[in-house]
Amino acid sequence: MAYLFLTVLIVAIAAFASLKFSLSLLACVVIVTTVVKVTATRLIGPVSIGAAARSVAWACVLPALVLIALVVSSEGKLAVDGIAAVLVLAALFVSFVLGFKYSLDAAFGASAAIALVSTVVSVGLLVLLKPLLF
């Protein structure tokens, strides 16, 4: 199911977004998946790239739903700053923890550590690639 979600997401983004946005977002997903694989392998043992991709897909569900709700409620003009930015980061962290806990079958502490690393990398990528993405 997670692979189907990732495939539909990639096709939808490629169909409706610009090439620059699509390639930047794909690069972010690949980098975060690689970071998750390396971090999870060091913390819980061998993890395949497929399992890491599946866990990233499940971890992206909650933030995607939050962002869709924000876009719909703001009538298409989205500005996330202040307390809203903190809430979005908290939702990203919580969804990463839950995605890694259930998808990688990791303990809560290990999934929280993996989530901390991947959240920092995700935020860093979004800050660096913000001019390309938005």
Q: Rounded to whole angstroms, what are the CA distances from 60 to 22, 56, 67, 100?
A: 16, 6, 11, 11
From first to last of the 134 residues of the chain, give the pLDDT tens digit: 667 777 787 788 788 888 888 888 888 889 999 999 999 999 999 999 988 988 888 887 767 776 777 777 776 666 667 787 788 778 778 888 888 888 888 889 999 999 899 888 988 888 887 776 66
Q: In the prediction, which pLDDT does 43 show?
A: 92
* Domain containing residue 114: 2-133
* Total tally of structural domains belonging to the chain: 1
What CA–CA distance (Å, rounded) separates 12 from 35? 24
- What does the pLDDT read at residue 11? 84
